[in-house]
Structure 1
Amino acid sequence: MFKKPKRKLYALIFVLPTFAAFVIGFIYPFFRGIYLSFFQFQIVSKTRFVGFDNYIRAFQDESFLRSFWFTLGFVVVSVILINLIAFFVAYALTLKIRGSNVFRTVFFMPNLIGGIILGYIWHQIFDGLLRNLDMPSLVTNETLGFWGLVILMCWQQAGYMMIIYIAGFQSVPADLYEAAKIDGANKGQLLTNVTLPMMMPSITICSFLTLTNSFKLFDQNLALTGGAPLVDGVWTTRMMALNIYKTFYGEGKAAKGAGQAEGVIFFLIVVVISLVQLYLTRRKEVQA
């Protein structure tokens, strides 16, 4: 009689193709990129070791430092606004108002549109609106460019986060609300003392997603402002992802190595900040 194959063998058969694709498409390029950040090159087959020169050049690059502070400010503002909007929209849509399912679909739809398309659409909207108000264009004013990116990000991401928050609201046990009402809690106290503590897992997820998505913003930035305006040789609304792309495809052999080093620095920044956020929000999670 033939022995039945073990379940582990079946698991390996199904996992190996996906794992191989993951290694080829992500793991290998990731470590290869870190390796190349210590070299000067035009093509990857011809490299010259330069040690930490690329990293030194990255920290001395005014455009890279400028893009970091611009991105950091954008992340702080967008994470707060997206989560506030998504939370209160989700709260409103869980109050059993008429047509709530239609509103959920409408609010979620912007997330399905590609970033390049969104950027060009909102560019036309902002230009038309600002022209009617006799105000400068987004590409000529840094402040307007910043808030244009924030508005675009909020419009695109809030609906997706809203779905997660709705799931969080629906997972709160009704018994907790009933017990709090018996104790005399009003709507504000129910929100702050019952809903928010029980919603912390959803807040953790949404904060993480908005944080990483805001840091990685690329195509919307490219389409909406392209980094403009250019002031004293520095693109004032370039975010880190776009700046790294422009650096890597700049002229000269040193540009690609510097761009690769900036990419590694960018990765470390996002990882560290994301882990800190996860640690801080998970500490406040409670069990039902």
Structure 2
Amino acid sequence: MERRNQTGIRIFLLLGFTEDSDSQPLVFGLFLSVYLVTMLGNLLIILATVSDSHLHTPMYFFLSNLSFADICFTSTTIPKMLVNMQTQSKVITYEGCLSQIFFFIVFGCLDNLLLTVMAYDRFVAICHPLHYTVIMSPQFCGLLAQGAWCFSVAISLLETLTVLKLSFCTNVEIPHFFCDLLEVLKLACSDNLVNNIVGYCVTIILGVFSLSGILFSYSRIFLSILSISSARGKYKAFSTCGSHLSVVSLFYGTGLGVYLSSAAISSSRTSLMASVMYTMVTPMLNPFIYSLNNRDVKGALGRLLGKGLISV
């Protein structure tokens, strides 16, 4: 296809998963189910933490923020994909594409920062238990949450505004189910050096610094757990951070898998399938990870669902 500069382009085409019309209903049903389970699971976590006074603690405050971020994260991409599949259309407007990029980065960054804050919360709870209520005060927790939101919005604005300066070619096909920033930059005809620099800086800040903070927190946590003499005490201390550690491993494992696979293998199909893991599967599994191994959450969910059944 001829590639020439076209600054007035108004649409992109999302190629999605498959061109086979026979398999479209199956793919549609699968991803609709994933979306509904994600919405229901995270919504139940939010309702449980808000309605149950036993869960009015910093850990569950950040967990409810994480669940809300996951709801918004999946809602940024999946509904548009489902609509396109249902209407047999691949079109997304230029404005819609920029909106997807903005909100995808916002809630992706927010997930990252909240996981880092939650690791710090577990570090204080296990390594400095006597000072926990003083350090993790409601005011400080509110500032941490607000800081994560503001920083995520600022980072997303920076990356999205640099896209506005680009001009695009007549090739408007994006081999993805949403407007992934890396795929959109490949379509640009103008120089995207600034975009690449900004992208690398954001990756370093969020990937390296956040992950380093999490690893530092857990290294101190493990050292503190090893110093506990009783086996029961060790198990109790570890159980308070086991769910979070599982979510961190899932989030960073799938996220790094996407970028490592796209760097090592030029196949857009491989990158597409890897993206499914952290954009759909991870937000869907988070509520199950936090509820199945947590008696407080299971008890709150039981009481919440019990009240619902009684009211019916």
Question: Which TM-score applies when normalising by structure 2?
Answer: 0.28
| Structure of larger gyration radius | 1
Give the TM-score normalised by the residue count of structure 1. 0.30
